[in-house]
Chains A and B, each alone.
Chain A
Amino acid sequence: MATATPEAVESRIVEALASFGPDIEQVTRTATFEELDIDSLDLVELAQIVEDEWGVELKGDDMKGLKTVGDAIDLVVARAA
């Protein structure tokens, strides 16, 4: 399993979110999921990718509080530590 450095997590999450539809330039730390048209189904898929990469298991309740890309990156980094 890869080391979850903040840089690595950010890079992988941005890449994953961009593969769901938004242009990669739009996917910044401050961008909200609403702005990016990322819905709950996308977030479940993101959680699967995160678990595959770093073994961090994110449940539905974890995902509900996430508003921005930065929220997701911080959560994964904190859990992986």
Chain B
Amino acid sequence: MKRRVVITGVGAVTPLGVGAEPLLRRWAAGEVGIQEGEGAARDFVAKEHLSIKEARRNDRFAQMAMVASDEALAQAGWNGEKPYAPERIGCVLATGIGGLESLEGQHDNLRDKGDKAVSPLSVPLFMVNAGTAALSMRHDLRGPTFQVGSACASGGHAIGTAMRMIQMGDADAIVTGGAEATLTPLARASFAAASALSPTGISRPFDARRDGFVMGEGAGVIVLEDAEKAEARGATILGELKGYATTSDAYHITATLPEGTYASRAMDLALADAGLTPAEIDYVNAHGTSTELNDAAETTAIKLTFGDAAGQVPVSSLKSSIGHLLGAAGAVEAIATLLAINERIVPPTLGLQEPDPALDLDYVPGAARELTPRNGTPKALSNSFGFGGHNVVLCLEGTTA
């Protein structure tokens, strides 16, 4: 019998504000955090939350992870003494790219002023594991700690890996999630060169006019705990991470396999891992990037998994409100999904006004709806797919009341 894994705290920094609460509230209200073609976390000012030393020693992606983690740990009731020995608490964070802003800045120093002008803090700023390292030191987490990278699937992989580690007894609790801050000239040019970015700067997943993703930044952090231990300590349980699965397209470095075979297989396996059938799923939080290929392939994949009933499950994309948070996307989306089903809300796909005749699922266009769980507790899937053909699906179960 696998150990059950529950969620006891969440925290977020996103284009909709600092905190997990504004993320769902503003998305459900139809608000868009994208301005001038990018989803910047405009409300996040590091020095409002961190000391000078903390701010200058961490790239923006790690800074956002720190602030999101403070929120998540506070919600989990970990403010004072931790409920477990530090050795039994791990940290698994995701990032797609790492501290790119710092890397670009130091490269400018190198090119313009020579190697003596490169900061001794360069590597600690831009290394991909900087976020995990920052949280480990900040919260005294001394169990397994490492960063995972699978491009835009990273957030899902971090959470799924953390879940498995608790199930296997490697840790009693893990602080997990993802962070990304790459609104930089190099990232813009690179994604644009790959024809991945929307030239119009509009994120409208599943719309006939969709023309690419809109880059965003942010962080999402989740506290996962062994269910028995969390219950024993009287923790408030926000939900259960019921299932996780990951597969690979082995097809193309940037393009999704159009047939959706392995994205669907990941959904099938996540459902099996959760011990659930597609008919028990109330909501699918799509990867839904607003690229022509992803949204078509993901639609096909959902149809493969849900069969004839695919049209009955609501599917929507948070990226319609905040853009694509790359390595943080899966984490922020899992948080929004959990909060939505707990609030009995099906959040909308914003900007979907011209349906694509080839895409015929229920994408929840326009406005949020009420969610009535099909079978007791609300249950949802959250999909994440990344450059490289990585597919991850998480299955989340919300609370009863």
Contact = CB atoms under 8 A, between A and B. Distances in A.
B252 interface: no
Interface string B5-24: 00000000000000000000
B120 interface: yes
Interface in A1-60: 19-21, 37, 41, 44-45, 48, 51
Contact of A20 (B56, B116, B117, B124): B56
A19 B52 contact: yes
Contact of A41 (B51, B52, B116, B120): B120
B387 to A, nearest CB: 33
A20 B53 contact: yes
Nearest to A44: B120
Q: B-side binding surface: helix, strand, loop or mixed?
A: helix
A51 B116 CA distance: 10
B205 to A, nearest CB: 43
B172 to A, nearest CB: 31
Interface string B248-282: 00000000000000000000000000000000000
B53 A45 contact: no
A48 B113 CA distance: 12
B195 interface: no
Contacts of A51: 116
B62 to A, nearest CB: 15
B121 interface: yes
A21 B53 CA distance: 4
Interface centre among A21, A37, A44, A51 (most CB of B within 10 A): A21
B18 to A, nearest CB: 22
Task: Enumerate the 5 nearest inter-chain pairs by beta-carbon distance, A residue then B residue, closest first.
Answer: A21-B53, A44-B120, A41-B120, A21-B52, A41-B121
22 contacts: A19-B52, A19-B56, A20-B52, A20-B53, A20-B56, A21-B51, A21-B52, A21-B53, A21-B56, A37-B53, A41-B120, A41-B121, A41-B124, A44-B120, A45-B119, A45-B120, A45-B121, A48-B116, A48-B117, A48-B119, A48-B120, A51-B116
